[in-house]
Each structure stands twice: as structure tokens, then as C-alpha cells.
Chains A and B, each alone.
Chain A
Amino acid sequence: MREVAVVSFAQTPYLRRERRRSEVEMLMPVIAQAIERSGIQKAQIGFTCSGSSDYIAGQAFAFVGAVDALGAWPPISESHVEMDGAWALYEAWVKIQCGQADSALVFAFGRASTGTLPETLTMQLDPYTLAPLGADAVSLAALQARALLDARLATEREMAEVAVRSRRDAKRNPFAQLKGDFEVEKILAEPYLISPLRKHDCPPITDGAAAIVIAAGEVARRVCRRPAFIRGIDHRIEPHQPGFRDLTVSPSTQLAGEQAGAAGRPLDLAELHAPFTHQELILRRALALPASVAINPSGGPLAANPMMAAGLARIGEAARPILEGQARRALAHATQGHCLQQNLVCVLEGE
């Protein structure tokens, strides 16, 4: 296995609605920053892979238009996943493992403000038996939350505490969208949105983009003072039908974590892609994270949830403290599908 490391990370300030720039205009500075910070010349980057979904903004072939931000001349080796950029990073990692590139630019973007996101996400459901019912993303998450409460694996108070902690920690993150001091008692007194979820249990609607450059070990050590080495990366998926799964646990996260070597040396922090408060509780348990591990010091998806970039941003936010010499070992998690159907775990470590 080749060593591969994250050497840079850049992101847009996350906004409820990007009013001034198109997707391409949002991406250009983020890509430019990621490349500049990487120490690798743009022309030397061996592979580019992006993650996005046309349905988010309702624009067919949006990912093709996004190539405008790359200056793809002479022609570049490029790929795209109709998924969160964390999976684009996985593809880029595989490319480097295969020896077909020594470095890669990974980027992701989502402009959810143009549509009605929970309804758009109905489109990722089985078209025969699920989508025709019109089940939206929040409704499905609520089913999972109820199952967790029924199983006494969580309380609404614990869910509220996740929300409060996330938005408080987000105050230190200049890129975060939803930040501030909230009180558990006050937010628990608010009405339900879709029981048992209240508004604070749900992620904000966010427009934004993120980019990461990864490189093979020998390149990373040459260009970066403190590369964040990807010690393990793995992803697993569960059956699609929510009724075929035990929604209170995440065996795919557990297995991905084991395969990525999450247990091992102690972690300083974990960035978990849990868009709903109760999902953080499920993931913590699936990864057996001790209380000493800081969860989502960036504020996580409850503070900013740029669709298709939130998972990639977790990898970036886990790598950043290592790149800056503040941390030694971190875990990043990304999810796709409803109710944590598919999960990716990435373990990062400085030397």
C-alpha cells in the first residue's frame, strides 16, 4: 500500500444562500487555495475528482459546468462521483494506490438553497416502493430517532445537548453558518417539526464548497511540513429499505471503522457527518469513541451542511489540526443515503 496524505484543505464560508456567485465562481477560490496551500503546482496534479449531485440545485450536468473552475487545458485526468466528495477522495486515493497519479485534487459543492432539500432527497429512495410515498429526508431521520428513543439508546435531552455543543463550538469556526449559544431547556420547549425531531435536531440548509489535495507519501513529505497521512480509509453500505435494517445501530460504520483501523492509537478528535443530532449518538457508539475524543470541534453538519461537501469537509476539518500541528490523530466520517445507509471512515495521523 502506498502512503497517501492530505496536504491541504480549503472551503467557502458556509451560507444559507449564496447570493452573489455561481457554483463555478464559488469553486474557483477554494480550488485555487487548496492548490496553493498544497505546495504542488496545478500542472503537476495527476488526477482531479469531484463530488456533487445535479439534483441539489436542479441543474443537469452541473458537475460538467464545474470543470470551468479547473482550467482544464491541456486536458486533465478527471472523474466525478454523484456523491459526497468524501467518496471522490476515496476514488482519488485508489488512483494513487494504483500508481496512476502521485497527487490529486478533490473538490465538492452543493447549492441546496435553490430547491426544497428534504423533498429533493426523496429522489434517492427506491422508486418502486418508497419514493412514491413522498417520504422526505427529515421524516426518515425522525423514524430512526424514534427507534433510538424507544430502544432507550438516547434521550431527547442528549440529542439537544449535541445541538447545543455543536453550535457553540461552531463559534470558533469562521466558516460555520449556524453558530451561537443555545440552552438545552429552551430548545427542548420548542415544538416538534416531525416528531421526535425538533428544528434544532436538523441540519441547516447550506450553500458551499470544499477542496482537498492529497498526495503520495514521498510527494507529501516534500511539499508539506506536517502531512496528515491517511492511515486507513474504508466505506460500507447497508440495505436500502429502512425496514430491512436496525436503524438504532450502524454496522456499516462499525465495519468501515474496523477496516480503516480506527481503534489503535488514541484519537484526538473525530469529525462525524451526522446531519441529525441522534445520528451522532449512533455513530459514537458504532465507532466506540471514548468520551475523551472531541466530536466535531468544527461544529459539524449541524453548524453547516453543504450537501455533497459536508463529508469531504469532515475529512478536511479532521486533517486541519494535524496539518497545523495541533493534533496527532483524527477520525473523519462521511455518510450517504437516508438514516446512515452508507458510511465512510478515514483515519488520519501526523508523523
Chain B
Amino acid sequence: MAAADGEVTFSAPHIVEYAYRRSVGAVLGRFFTGLRERKLVGTRTRAGRVLVPPCEYDPDTGESVAEFVDVGPSGVVTTWAWVHAPSAKHPLPRPFAWALIRLDGADTAMLHVVDAGSESRMRTGMRVRPRWRAQTVGEIRDIECFEPETGR
């Protein structure tokens, strides 16, 4: 094939594909084990701040964090963004919202998606709850998505 000025070029698809198996450690391991059981877990720092997703170390002080706290299952949307035309890499095939969700009992928000049906249903401050997959394995996508707590 020729480029605009007649110089030859060749194109070919180039796929970079790999699957890593990552050890998760004790803290994230507890989080993922909780997800497998359809439970949400955070970590509490010495200052009493509850972090979700859980952290091995307090981001403010660097101290290790070892106390686990049940959080959620519902929470509050602290910010959101509406995807009008999802890509193949997005977690839902229909328009949806990304959201930062502060689960009840947590002091931080976690990223996930809200299957609100339409952009007009999204509001910062709205309450959402998780919709779990039929089969859970211990990963963040055991939560298929969140949905408005008041139902669709």
C-alpha cells in the first residue's frame, strides 16, 4: 500500500495479550474473599478512617493497617460520569454510569458502575446497592454493577 506521497507502508494488527495471575496478599485477599461471599469489607486505620477498597498501609501515615470492618452493602454516589456509547472494554454493553461510591461505613469511595437505565436517573448523592453476579469467584467484578436503591 502507498502513503500519500507514494512511499510504501505496511500495516498489520498487533495484539498484546497476556493474563497474569497475581497474588493478592492478606488484605486484598480478605476483600476478595468477602466479595466471593457477597460481602464488602474495608480496613480501618489507627485514626479510625475506614478505607474501601482496603489498603495495606494508611495513605496518610504509612502505618500498616490490619483491622477489617464490614461496610455497605449500599452506599452513596459521590461523583459519576455517563457513558453514552460503551466500548467493548467497558463493563456493561448498554449506556451506564461510572461512579465513585462511598459505601455505608466507609470514609473513601470505590470505583464501580451504576446501571441506572438513563442519565436522568443519576444524581450525586443518590443511594445505590450492589447487584451481585450469579457466580462469584473473588474479584471486583463479582459485583456486576450497582443499581439505584429505590429500584428501576
Direct contact between A and B judged by beta carbons closer than 8 A: yes
A residues with CB within 8 A of B: 19-20, 55, 58, 114, 119, 122, 127-130, 132-136, 139-140, 142-147, 150, 191-197, 239, 241-244, 247
CB pair B81 A136 closer than 8 Å: no
Instruction: Out of B80, B101, B111, name the residue touching A146 (CB < 8 Å).
Output: B80
A129 to B112 alpha-carbon distance, docked (Å): 9
Residues of chain B in range 48-92 having any CB-CB distance to chain A below 8 Å: 51-53, 55, 59, 78-84, 87, 89-91
A243 contacts across to B, CB distance below 8 A:
52, 78, 100-102, 108-111
CB pair B22 A128 closer than 8 Å: yes
B14 contacts partner chain A, Cβ-Cβ < 8 Å = yes
B78 contacts across to A, CB distance below 8 A:
147, 243
Number of A-B contacts (CB under 8 A): 107
CB pair A136 B89 closer than 8 Å: yes
B5 contacts across to A, CB distance below 8 A:
20
A119 to B89 alpha-carbon distance, docked (Å): 8
CB pair A143 B80 closer than 8 Å: yes
CB pair B83 A139 closer than 8 Å: yes
A132 contacts across to B, CB distance below 8 A:
139-141
A144 to B81 alpha-carbon distance, docked (Å): 9
- Of chain B, the residue at the smallest CB distance from A60 is B16
The smallest beta-carbon distance between B49 and chain A, in angstroms, is 10
A130 contacts across to B, CB distance below 8 A:
111
The smallest beta-carbon distance between B30 and chain A, in angstroms, is 12
Residue among B14, B24, B31, B81 with the most chain A CB within 10 A?
A: B81
B47 contacts partner chain A, Cβ-Cβ < 8 Å = no
A19 contacts across to B, CB distance below 8 A:
3-4, 9
CB pair B84 A191 closer than 8 Å: yes
CB pair A194 B111 closer than 8 Å: no
A119 to B31 alpha-carbon distance, docked (Å): 26
Size of interface on B: residues with Cβ below 8 Å to A: 44
A145 contacts across to B, CB distance below 8 A:
81
Instruction: Out of A122, A143, A191, name the residue touching B89 (CB < 8 Å).
Output: A122
The smallest beta-carbon distance between B100 and chain A, in angstroms, is 5
A143 to B52 alpha-carbon distance, docked (Å): 18
- Of chain A, the residue at the smallest CB distance from B139 is A132
Known: A20-B7, A128-B22. A150 touches B141 (CB 8 A): no
Instruction: Out of A114, A129, A150, name the residue touching B110 (CB < 8 Å).
Output: A129
CB pair B83 A20 closer than 8 Å: no
A122 contacts across to B, CB distance below 8 A:
89
- Of chain A, the residue at the smallest CB distance from B103 is A243
A129 contacts across to B, CB distance below 8 A:
28, 31, 53, 110-111, 140
CB pair B112 A195 closer than 8 Å: no
B128 contacts partner chain A, Cβ-Cβ < 8 Å = no
CB pair A241 B53 closer than 8 Å: yes
CB pair B14 A58 closer than 8 Å: yes
Kindly list 8 other residue pairs between chains A and B, CB separation below 8 angstroms, not including A129-B111, A133-B113: A19-B9, A129-B31, A133-B111, A134-B91, A145-B81, A194-B81, A243-B111, A244-B51
- Of chain B, the residue at the smallest CB distance from A248 is B79
Instruction: Out of A55, A58, A192, A247, name the residue touching B79 (CB < 8 Å).
Output: A247
In the A-B complex, list the 7 residue pairs whose CB atoms are closest, starting with the nearest.
Answer: A243-B109, A142-B81, A195-B82, A147-B79, A134-B89, A129-B53, A239-B59
- Of chain B, the residue at the smallest CB distance from A122 is B89
The smallest beta-carbon distance between A151 and chain B, in angstroms, is 9
The smallest beta-carbon distance between B143 and chain A, in angstroms, is 10
A150 to B140 alpha-carbon distance, docked (Å): 27
Chain B 1-24, CB within 8 Å of chain A: the 1/0 string? 001110101000010100010101
The smallest beta-carbon distance between B34 and chain A, in angstroms, is 13
CB pair B84 A193 closer than 8 Å: yes
The smallest beta-carbon distance between B136 and chain A, in angstroms, is 14
